Copies of this chain bind each other. A is one copy, B any other.
Amino acid sequence: MAKRVSHSESLCGVARPLDAIGDWWSLLIVRDAFDGLRRFGEFQKSLGLAKNILSARLRNLLAHGIMETVPAADGSPYQEYVLTEKGRGLFPLLVALRQWGEDFFFDPDEAHVLLVDKKNGLPVRRLELRAQDGRVVGAEDTMVQLPPALRSNATA
Q: Which residues of A contact B (CB under 8 A)?
A: 3-4, 8, 12-20, 22-24, 27-28, 31, 34-35, 46-49, 65, 86, 88-106, 111-125, 127-133, 135, 137-139, 141-150, 154-156
A89 to B95, Cβ gap below 8 A?
no
21 CB contacts below 8 A, A to B, read: A3-B24, A13-B102, A14-B101, A17-B97, A19-B24, A22-B24, A89-B100, A89-B103, A91-B139, A93-B96, A93-B100, A112-B156, A113-B156, A115-B142, A116-B142, A122-B131, A125-B129, A125-B130, A125-B131, A127-B128, A128-B128
Residue numbers in B under 8 Å from A156 (CB-CB)? 112-113
B48 to A4, Cβ gap below 8 A?
yes
Given contacts A8-B105, A129-B124, contact A142 B118 (CB under 8 A): yes
Residue numbers in B under 8 Å from A88 (CB-CB)? 138-139
Give the complex CA separation of A119 and B49 in angstroms.
Answer: 47
Contact of A105 among B17, B91, B148 (CB under 8 A): B17
B15 to A28, Cβ gap below 8 A?
yes
Question: This chain: how many copies in the complex?
Answer: 2
Give the complex CA separation of A28 and B47 in angstroms.
Answer: 26
- Closest chain-B Cβ to A121's Cβ sits at a distance in Å of 7
Give the complex CA separation of A154 and B113 in angstroms.
Answer: 10
B143 to A116, Cβ gap below 8 A?
yes
| 4 new A-B contacts at CB < 8 Å, known A16-B106, A18-B24, A92-B100 | A13-B105, A111-B148, A116-B143, A117-B132
